[in-house]
Amino acid sequence: MKYSYIFINATVALFLTLGLISCQGKRSADSSASGLKKIHFEFNSSSIEPEMAQILDNNAGYLKKHKDTEVVVEGHCDERGTNEYNLALGDRRAYSTKEYLLRKGVSSTHLRTVSYGEEKPLDNGHDEASWYMNRRAEFERQ
């Protein structure tokens, strides 16, 4: 009985570890179609985390060099919450991303925002790793 308990605990620990490693791999920032890197947000948040600020700093540098580039900042959410709430949260995410870029010297004439709420998920799963991938701001060139 004692050995089966240890085996079960070790098996559970292994699966949890593999799940966390997989989740960490998904947390890396991928490039949007525009070539600018998307950023991700924590649950129910529109705050720019330090890891994501570094990505936005690089995006700001690119946009300042390419002054003729017009970009729509798209705010996205995971499936949790009502449509109305997620549209508002997506708007706050897009707006906070735009404001960060403006503070870094990007021209406001080349930035617009839009919220898609939960309507355009990157990952259709129903777990934390999937939800994390969907909580994002992306950049679409115009």
Looking at the DSSP bridge assignments, the partners of residue 76 are 117
Question: What pLDDT score does 30 carry?
Answer: 60
Concatenated DSSP letters of the chain: -HHHHHHHHHHHHHHHHHHHHHHHHHTSPPB-TTSSBPEE--TT-----HHHHHHHHHHHHHHHHSTT--EEEEEE--S-S-HHHHHHHHHHHHHHHHHHHHHTT--GGGEEEEEEETSS-S----SHHHHHHHSEEEEEE-
Name the CATH superfamily, with its identifier, for domain 30-141: OmpA-like domain (3.30.1330.60)
Mean pLDDT of 26-39: 66
Please check whether residue 113 is in contact with residue 72, taking contact to mean a CB–CB distance below 8 angstroms: yes
Question: What pLDDT score does 5 carry?
Answer: 45
Question: What pLDDT score does 109 carry?
Answer: 94
Window from 10-24, 41-55, 96-110 with minimum mean pLDDT = 10-24
- Using one digit for the tens of pLDDT, what is the confidence trace for 6-24? 444 444 443 444 444 444 4
Q: Cβ-count burial of 97 within 10 angstroms (0-12 exposed, 13-18 middle, 19+ buried)?
A: buried
CA 8 to chain centre: 35
